[in-house]
Chain A
Amino acid sequence: MTAPSRASADRLGRLLNLVPYLLARPGIELAEAAAELGVSEKQLREDLELLWVCGLPGYGPGDLIDMAFDGDRVTITYDAGIDRPLRLTPDEALALVVALRMLAETPGMANRDAIERTLAKLESAAGDLTSAPVEVRLPGNADRLDTLRGAVERRRALRITYYTATRDELTERVVDPIRVLVVAGRAYLEAWCRRAEAVRLFRADRIDALTELDEPARLPGQVRLHDVSGGVYQPGPELPLVTLRVGRGGRWITEYYPCEDVRPDGEEWLVSLRVADLSWAQRFVLGLGPDATVVAPADLVERVRQQAGAALDQYS
């Protein structure tokens, strides 16, 4: 489909919605309607003008859509038969139903009852379209998430014991919770960390202990939240680049970690990825065992070789 045609279809869809929308809200302010419909006020005025000249062709003016303006307010006085919005398309029904199923399945969700009721109503309104062939299951620790959500809602500071995998250490810190996210099936607490003096994402399953403090959460003015649309771990170019030669059994790492480069090398693959920390990389490579060899950097090769040798000496 060509671009102008797409735009005209979008506009027709918008116009068909506009009449019942305004009909349900007599005397609504144009600015309010435009904001809620996600169009500019100028666009809304143009749409209204076009609607005004719409109606039953070849008939008298009484058959045209009619509306009354009162300053910045508008009321539809004749709807020309468009008093209901169009039924949902299969994609619209799918989008809403799948998202509601996602919410209903998310552990620790508040007001699950309202979500279930909405789902039932939408499914009946969309008819057979919602035999949507999509199922969702997100197992997780609902109790843990309930606690975290409670802290966010009560706006309380938390003292947490947190395991940092990159440094392999447990630390205690006071954080000011902002929100709870579930990304790719894993739950995170996004909070201001008073220790790091920055907004951090804490994986819920690495919060080993948690106490709600008797003090309100405080955020230092405007904080920037993480954009997790591209995944939670998005290594920057400033981090060390590590190149490994991996065999078949180690190639799963290319699915779990963002890799910069994957290329075949004889029977094996050369995989390059950025790591937060070289001591994490050392644990990671040792853990991969016979499935991986470090190619670069040279000091990581040396660290892994020395550690493996020292560990072996313990058993001799």
Chain B
Amino acid sequence: MICLLSTRRFLTAAQIATTVPGYEHDPDDPRDHEAFQRKFERDKAELRELGVPLETGTASAFDTEPGYRIAAREYALPDIQLEPDEAAAVGIAARLWRHAGLAAAASSGLAKLRAAGIDIDPSATLGVEPVVTVDPAFAPLTTAARDRRTVAFDYRVPEGDAPTSRRLEPWGVVCWRGRWYVVGHDLDREATRCFRLSRIVGQVRLTGKPGSYEPPAGVDLISHVARWSGPVERTGRATVLVRPGRAAGLRRWAREVEPTADGDKLVLPFADPDGLAASVVGYGADVRVLDPPEVREAVIQRLKEIATRHEAASVSAR
């Protein structure tokens, strides 16, 4: 390694073998030579994994054997100066991964910054700590999106019976409201789709070659996810009667509360009658809907179905 770092020439495997302790072998003994080659290949892969930019080429036009050298320009971390508050921020950032997938990468990245002369205060805090967790599909999908490789995976929505198999050109991974999604071009649906990472079943398979597609220029990944889970406007108003001291959860949402002889009259904002009916029904006999009729009807309908289902359940439970 250090041998390669200090040379500007390409060295062939044979040249490296003669100078590096541990690589000694008899090149004329096929078994010994094969063992060396295996070890050499493994070490090359190891170096590349560490981030060592290993270049292949030949030292001169007369060489037929490929040679190796380290691209010195690309080897080193570029000069980076961080103010104390910036160094603190990166230290805190690295800690976010302590529970999750990229913990090892974060700490080795941090070690490189320290080696670049940056002092990082391990006790710094920012007052608010995000706790990061990622799904197992996070690592393969970010890799695939970075390398532009097509992926295949099995996907199960909670209301579906069985997972369906999907093929996707992933453009990127998005964290929206604490959940992870992948956005990309769905090859079977021929359309842009987003998938929740927690619903991916089993392994993500990298099926395409690197660089096999190009995401649309300037694509706004967040907008594809947020479109389906944006905030709702509660423009409807319902009036309900609540027993005194009961249904605290509904009272928190009330725009108006008026005590009456029959109980407290609440005005509740709502987006869709069925959604409001579901929360009202939760409070059982503590709440009665006065208005509007569609909410009142939705509540009665729900109560009837619940009563029927549990009448039968109650009989069978005895």
Contacts and interface: CB of A to CB of B under 8 A. Distances in A.
B96 A287 contact: no
B86 interface: yes
Interface in B136-193: 142-143, 145-146, 158-159, 161, 170-179
Contacts of B318: 298
Contact of A304 (B93, B100, B296, B306): B306
Interface string A62-79: 010100000000000000
A65 B226 CA distance: 54
Contacts of A309: 307
B158 A24 contact: no
Given A36-B114, A100-B90, A305-B313, 18 more contacts: A92-B105, A96-B94, A102-B96, A135-B172, A135-B173, A137-B176, A137-B222, A149-B127, A179-B125, A185-B178, A286-B282, A289-B302, A290-B305, A301-B314, A308-B284, A311-B285, A311-B287, A312-B307
Contacts of B49: 9, 89
Contact of A8 (B2, B46, B305): B46
Nearest to A21: B115
B77 interface: yes
30 contacts: A12-B46, A18-B115, A20-B117, A25-B117, A57-B20, A58-B19, A86-B52, A86-B76, A89-B108, A92-B109, A102-B175, A109-B126, A110-B127, A115-B93, A125-B77, A125-B79, A133-B170, A135-B173, A138-B130, A145-B128, A163-B252, A169-B248, A184-B178, A228-B131, A289-B306, A294-B310, A295-B313, A296-B317, A301-B314, A305-B314
Given A109-B126, A118-B82, A249 B159 contact: yes
Interface stretch (A214-222, A234-242, A250-258): A250-258
Contact of A117 (B20, B86, B106, B133): B86
B155 to A, nearest CB: 13
Contacts of A58: 19
Contacts of A223: none
**Which 8 residue pairs across A and B have the least CB separation, nearest first?**
A185-B178, A92-B109, A307-B284, A24-B117, A84-B76, A133-B172, A287-B282, A99-B93
A196 interface: no
A81 interface: yes
Contact of B179 (A54, A114, A133, A184): A184
B93 A37 contact: no
B2 A82 contact: yes
Contact of B102 (A85, A91, A208): A91
Interface in A10-44: 12-14, 16-21, 24-25, 36-38
Contacts of A92: 51, 105-106, 108-109, 112
Contacts of B310: 293-294, 301, 304-305, 308
Interface string B292-306: 000010011011111
A270 interface: no
A94 interface: yes
Interface residues of B, number: 118
Given A58-B19, A304-B310, A308-B310, A111 B178 contact: no
A294 B50 CA distance: 55
Contacts of B177: 137-139, 185
B86 A121 contact: yes
A20 B114 CA distance: 9
Nearest to A8: B46
Given A86-B50, A114-B88, A311-B284, A109 B42 contact: no
A38 B107 contact: yes
Contacts of A304: 306, 310
Contacts of A301: 310, 313-314, 317
B13 interface: no
B249 interface: yes
Contacts of A313: 285
B309 interface: yes
A62 B117 CA distance: 25
A181 interface: yes
B132 A102 contact: yes
Contacts of A63: 6
A310 B145 CA distance: 56
Contacts of B268: none
Nearest to A231: B133
Nearest to A19: B115
Interface string B66-107: 000000001111111111011111101110110110110111
Contact of A287 (B50, B108, B109, B278): B278
B247 interface: yes
Given A99-B93, A102-B130, A312 B303 contact: yes
B40 interface: no
Contacts of B265: none
A174 interface: no
Contacts of B158: 251-252, 254-255
Contact of A103 (B6, B53, B126): B126
B304 A312 contact: yes
Interface in A178-203: 179-187
Given A37-B111, A96-B106, A301-B313, A55 B77 contact: no
Contacts of B100: 229
Given A56-B6, A84-B116, A132 B175 contact: no
Given A9-B50, A135-B172, A307 B109 contact: no
Of B79, B96, B115, B158, the most chain A CB neighbours within 10 A belong to B115
A37 B114 contact: yes
A136 interface: yes
Of B76, B125, B299, B317, the most chain A CB neighbours within 10 A belong to B317
A88 B51 CA distance: 7
Given A5-B42, A106-B130, A314 B285 contact: yes
